[in-house]
Amino acid sequence: MSLDLSVLMNKKMSKDLIQVVDNFLIENGFVKDEYGYVAANENISLDIYCEFTPEKDDWWDDVDELIAKIGFFPKAEIVLESKHAQASHIVNYQTAQRLAAIVGGVIYDYQVGVLYDSDGKPYACHRTDDEFEEYGAGMSLSMAAVGIVKDVLGTENKM
């Protein structure tokens, strides 16, 4: 099971900003490959890539409500996908938060459908009477799904 996060930006990424992101990822244990970046640590399964033209992605065609909550149509996006292990998901959340601070973006957690700022605080539209999904809540859902699949398959092996 994968856990997907996106860092959404309201402006295109300049060459300088792309270089800053590249430097940050390399300095923090990622290796560049033909698609983006992968974690160099073999115990962490995390892929990261930049989407410079999200307007061409069909996913954005039917999410008017989300766009209204964000307050802008993303001009660029950094997608993070972790797989299988809680340690990978933790690194995913930490990396997304740091990238959001670097690029001035917002974090979208696909598992819980919530937007967060770079401090991990949910957008006001996702809070009701001081109740909200805490940053990282999607990890519990993802790990629960892994447990269900293992139960169904009757195995303890890594997926």
Which residue ranges form the domains of the chain, and what is each CATH number? 2-153 (3.30.1400)
The count of other CB atoms within 10 Å of the CB of residue 60 is: 15
For 52-89, write each residue's pLDDT tens digit.
Answer: 999 998 888 888 888 888 899 999 999 999 997 889 99
For 14-57, write each residue's pLDDT tens digit.
Answer: 999 999 999 999 999 999 999 999 999 999 999 999 999 999 98
Q: What is the pTM of this model?
A: 0.82
The Cα angle at residue 11 between residues 13 and 126, in degrees rounded to 5: 120
Residue 60 one-letter amino acid: W
